[in-house]
Amino acid sequence: MDNEQLIEKAFDFIQQMYAELTIDPSRIQDRKKEIMHEIKATGSYTHTYDELSQGAKMAWRNSNKCIGRLFWNTMTVLDARYASKPKEVAGALLHHIRTASNGGKIKPTITIFQPGKIRVWNHQLIRYAGYETDKGIIGDPDSVAFTKEVMKLGWEGKGTQYDILPLVFSIDGAIPSFVEIPNEDVLQVVIQHPDYDFTPLRARWYGVPIISDMRLEIGGISYDAAPFNGWYMGTEIGARNLADTNRYNLLPDVAKLLDLDTSSNATLWKDVALVELNRAVLYSYQNKGVSIVDHHTAAKQFQKFEQNEEKAEREVTGNWTWLIPPVSPATTHIFHKPYKNKIVTPNYFYQSKPY
């Protein structure tokens, strides 16, 4: 974008942010002048930490696909704009994992690197590898393409169903670096059931979903590397990651363990298996003391978020197809309500893969 467009976007953000924080109007005008001079001199401008922090929080608040927005203002914002060397980037990413994991009491966290310099190749900082073999895919099918790229860099996994992928990132478009995540930094939960023996499934999942391949836009400035996390809603794991036929596809195995009649769809064996797998996920995370929320509670929290936004006279935007949970959606108020899928900035955006 040209300077005038950037100035307009910057001014819109500064006006909204400073007004929300009830900052003296004279300070708003002073800051706008500073930004305008910087853009005219350099073609860009630099956010203060307060602008970076509030902008990241506002981006979460504006994320149409997220049901967990009630907690937008609690996000821990880590400024990693200093990082320009592989050791510094790796250190910042590992620090994020430790900060967010917090011994199981998950902290919503974002780490923001300088714009236009760093790209994190991972979809999530913590994720399982996927391997194509003669006997089918081992691990997470959704990770097969990325796993191949990482192996080209020289990484070798153990070839199990749950190998933790390394952190992969590039600086200034150079050949990417990869760094193993220490085992002690990866919070994992073995999936057990309160009533049935799920040991034969040998299923597990990681504790913190840290999205790392989206672009954060604040006031016209794009941060290509800005990994962020909340905590899991149980259905993300139990109804999607472990259940989808193109992921770990555990429903047939769960049905066998429960001795369900799978001879016909009309027995609703898939539904029974799905609910029990989701019960197991919630039980396992809660039993280990790892933050997680069930979809009914999450929907109630979103309702509270809507009420808060109404009081603040802000329109709630949303992507209905993402907001409804994949299990029993009609039992939530979200299912019965329309939402405008209007994109408001600051926000997080998808971007093309670097590989």
Is it the case that residue 25 has pLDDT exceeding 90?
Answer: no
The overall average pLDDT reported for the chain is 98
What local confidence, expressed as pLDDT, does residue 179 receive? 98
Rounded average pLDDT over 184-197: 99
Q: Supply φ then ψ for residue 203, to 5 degrees.
A: -90, 150
Q: What is the pLDDT of residues 70-112, one digit of tens each?
A: 999 999 999 999 999 999 999 999 999 999 999 999 999 999 9
Residue in the block written with tokens 């001795």? 259
Is it the case that residue 43 has pLDDT exceeding 90?
Answer: yes
What local confidence, expressed as pLDDT, does residue 157 receive? 97
What local confidence, expressed as pLDDT, does residue 58 receive? 99
Active-site entry in 236, 269, 276, 306: 236
What local confidence, expressed as pLDDT, does residue 24 receive? 87
Contact 314, 306 (CB under 8 A): no
- Concatenate the DSSP letters of all residues of 262-305 into one string: -S-GGG-HHHHHHHHHHHHHHHHHHHHT--EE-HHHHHHHHHHH
Q: What is the dihedral of CA 284, 289, 293, 297, to 10 degrees?
A: 110
DSSP type of residue 65: T
Q: What tokens were used for 342? A: 């209007």
Q: What is the pLDDT of residues 264-275, one digit of tens each?
A: 999 999 999 999
Question: Is residue 66 annotated as a catalytic residue, yes or no?
Answer: yes
- Split at pLDDT 50, 70, 90, the class of 252 is very high
Active-site entry in 31, 61, 66, 205: 66
pTM: 0.97
Question: Is residue 231 annotated as a catalytic residue, yes or no?
Answer: yes
Amino acid at 350: Y
What local confidence, expressed as pLDDT, does residue 1 receive? 86
Q: What is the pLDDT of residues 193-209, one digit of tens each?
A: 999 999 999 999 999 99
Q: What is the pLDDT of residues 199-246, one digit of tens each?
A: 999 999 999 999 999 999 999 999 999 999 999 999 999 999 999 999
Count CB atoms within 10 A of the CB of residue 241. Answer: 22
Active-site entry in 69, 72, 119, 217: 69
Residue in the block written with tokens 């769809």? 265
Question: Is residue 247 annotated as a catalytic residue, yes or no?
Answer: no
Rounded average pLDDT over 26-46: 97
- Split at pLDDT 50, 70, 90, the class of 59 is very high
**CA atoms lying within 13 Å on the CB side of residue 12:** 14
What local confidence, expressed as pLDDT, does residue 320 receive? 99
Active-site entry in 60, 72, 205, 231: 231
Q: What is the pLDDT of residues 119-148, one digit of tens each?
A: 999 999 999 999 999 999 999 999 999 999
Question: Is residue 240 annotated as a catalytic residue, yes or no?
Answer: no
Rounded Cα distance between 309 and 316, Å, is 7
Q: What is the pLDDT of residues 324-354, one digit of tens each?
A: 999 999 999 999 999 999 999 999 999 999 9
Q: What tokens were used for 207? A: 């504790």
